[in-house]
Amino acid sequence: MSPVSNRIEERFRRLREERRKGLVVYIGAGDPDLEATRRLTLALDRAGVDVVELGVPFSDPLADGIVNQLAAQRGLASGTTPPKVLATVAAIRRESEVPVVLYIYFNLLHRVGLANFIRDAAAAGVDGLLVLDLPPEEADEYEGLMRDAGMCPIWLVAPTTPEARVERIARRAKGFIYYVSREGVTGMQASVSTTIADMTARIRRHSDLPIAVGFGISNPEQAREVARHAEAIVVGSAIVHRVATHGQDPAMPDQVGAFAAELARAVAEVSA
């Protein structure tokens, strides 16, 4: 029997009660190695991050820009595999209850076996999956397995998503809806998208789930601006870039955690 709610749902419930906005941070699992991933996740938790997305490295990450592509390459080079990522999540769970989402491509689930992977991910302490290349129209089996495991299937909405599809995604999502605020791939940007206010309003016509906005948020000023229109923001490439810069330094988790704390403070300035 699946639990009534999981860590993602509980975190957003608490944020809503406290009238606070959330911070979701993406890192590449295994970059530069899985012990660094464990230590960095704990540092992000201490810094005030509300949800950690772990990118499971894949050889053909089509949704990712160069910063996250290189992180995936470093993860593969360090010997990171899906089972090792789950073992790392289990190790994180011995010290932290921070919600964890795996950012993953469907081929990796298919190779292990969909039911096996979802079962093992839930047992390790994963709270949700964001499967980049699985269309919701083809996800009935996946969603049933996720529901039984008590995990949240996180779905993406883009600026080009038609209204009917926004409605379909909104009906199927759990935890939060991830609004990809730019067309194309992940990456740092000099300015935030101008579509955010309109698109978050469109999504809210179909769902009362929290909306997390990502793709291109690179600094505290942008984080503060985007947080005015959403329940949470997602920062990936700006974090991954700092991991790449400081990855071989034993102090890397604290250095990256300090930047995440700046983002958390910026988001905290925007009341819900």
128-146 confidence digits (pLDDT tens): 999 999 999 999 999 999 9
Residues 6+ apart with CB under 8 A from 138: none
Q: What is the pLDDT of residues 22-45, one digit of tens each?
A: 999 999 999 999 999 999 999 999
> Containing domain of residue 165, as a range?
7-268
pLDDT over 50 at 190, yes or no = no
Residue 17 lies in a domain: yes
Q: What is the domain count for the chain?
A: 1
Residue 41 lies in a domain: yes
Looking at residue 71, which CATH number applies to its domain? 3.20.20.70
Residue 64 a catalytic site member = yes
Output DSSP code: residue 136: G
Residues 223 and 267 sit within 8 Å (Cβ to Cβ): yes
Residue 176 lies in a domain: yes
Q: What is the pLDDT of residues 97-136, one digit of tens each?
A: 999 999 999 999 999 999 999 999 999 999 999 999 999 9
Cα 245 to Cα 178: distance, rounded to the nearest angstrom: 27
- Active-site hit among 31, 33, 45, 64: 64
Q: How confident is the model at residue 4 (pLDDT cuts 50, 70, 90)?
A: low
Q: How confident is the model at residue 192 (pLDDT cuts 50, 70, 90)?
A: low
Residue 171 lies in a domain: yes
pLDDT of the residue at 64: 79
Give the residue among 27, 24, 46 at the shortest CA–CA distance from 37: 27
Q: What is the pLDDT of residues 194-216, one digit of tens each?
A: 678 899 999 999 999 999 999 88
Query: Rounded mean pLDDT of the chain?
Result: 92
Residue 185 lies in a domain: yes
Tokens for 57? 């490295």
- Active-site hit among 33, 53, 120, 127: 53
pLDDT of the residue at 63: 73
Cα 78 to Cα 66: distance, rounded to the nearest angstrom: 18
Residue 189 lies in a domain: yes
Is the pTM value of this prediction over 0.85? yes
pLDDT over 70 at 187, yes or no = no
φ, ψ at 213 (rounded to 5°) = -105, 130
Residue 53 a catalytic site member = yes
Residue 98 lies in a domain: yes
CA 73 to chain centre: 19
Residue 2 lies in a domain: no
Cα 155 to Cα 6: distance, rounded to the nearest angstrom: 17
